[in-house]
Amino acid sequence: MGILDWMKGGAAGKEVKPAAGAPTGSGDKGVELAGLNFKSAVDAHMKWKSRLESYIGGTSTEDLKVEVVCRDDQCALGKWVYSQGGERFGFSETFADMKDHHAHFHRTAGEVLAMAQAGQKDQALRLLHHGDYGRTSERVKMALARLFVLVSDGKAAIDAHQKWKGRLRDVILGKSQEDLSVETTSKDDQCHLGQWLKGVGKERYAHLPAYHWVKDWHVQFHLRAGEVLALARKGDTEAALTMLEEGEYAKASDQVTAALVALFEQQEADRK
C-alpha cells in the first residue's frame, strides 16, 4: 500500500499504517513534498476531533480560544498554505479547493468550540459528530490526498500548463499585470512543467516513449507562446488571438496535453 492509499484510509477516518516498501522514509520524510509532510498534516487534522471532544467533555488541558481555532492560518497546514504552499501552487485549482475547505473547516471548529464554551455541550457534540464539521473535515482530507497526487506525480505542472492560455489572453487584451517577456516565455525550462520534465519527471519517466513526446512538444509550445506574446507586444491583437485560439499555439498546447495523458497512461501500464 502506497502513501496515497494511506491518505485515503485516513480520509475515511481509519488508522492506516503504510505497508513495507511504501515511501515513508526516515521520520516520514518520504511524504514531505514542497515543504509539507502530508502524512503529518493529515494526522494533525484528524486529531482535531478528539481534541474538541476532550474539551467538550471537560478532560482537556488545552486552553483553546475561539478566535484562534476559527482561523485557518494558525495550524501547521494553514501556515504552509499561506507561505510556501501558496507561493508554489497558488495557481492550482486543487490547491485553491483545499484552501477553501480548510478555511471552512476552521470556522466550523470555532463554532463547535464556541458552543462548548457557552455551555451548549449537547449542541457542540451534535455539530461535531453529525453536522457540518464532519463533512468539512472529510473534504479537507480528500483535498489533501488529491493535492499529494498533484504534487508528487507532476500534475501541478499540468495545471500550470493549462493556465498559459488564460495568461496570454489577458496580456493580449490588456487585462494582465504580469510582466511576461518574449525571451523567457519562449524557453521551455522556465515554467513548472519544464522544471518537472528536467527534474523529477526525467528521473521517473525518461524510459517511457511518451516522456520524450511531452518534452519535444513542450519545446514547440513555448516557441509558439513566445510568438503569440511577440505579436501582442507589437499591438497585433487580432493575429495574436487567432494564433492562440486556432493557430500553431493551439496545436502545440493540445499536443502537450495529449502527450501528458499518454505519459501517465504508460506509467500506469508500466506499474502493472
pLDDT digit string, tens, across residues 197-246? 998 889 889 999 999 999 999 999 999 999 999 999 999 999 999 999 98
Residue 269: predicted pLDDT: 72
Task: Report d(CA 43, CA 201) in Å as an integer.
Answer: 29
* pLDDT tens readout for residues 4-60: 554 545 444 444 343 333 333 334 444 677 788 888 888 899 999 999 999 999 999
* pLDDT tens readout for residues 117-154: 999 999 999 999 988 898 899 899 888 888 887 777 77
* pLDDT tens readout for residues 54-85: 999 999 999 999 999 999 999 999 999 999 99
- Cα within 13 Å of Cα(57), Cβ side: 9
Residue 258: predicted pLDDT: 87
Q: Which three cell numbers stand for residue 210?
A: 511518451
State the DSSP H helix or E strand holding residue 79, giving kind and residue range, or none if neither: helix 76-80
Judged against a pLDDT cut of 50, whether residue 181 lies above it is answered with: yes
Task: Report d(CA 231, CA 247) in Å as an integer.
Answer: 13
- β-strand 32-33 against 36-37: which pairing, if any? antiparallel
Domains of the chain, first to last: 3-152 (1.20.120.30), 155-271 (1.20.120.30)
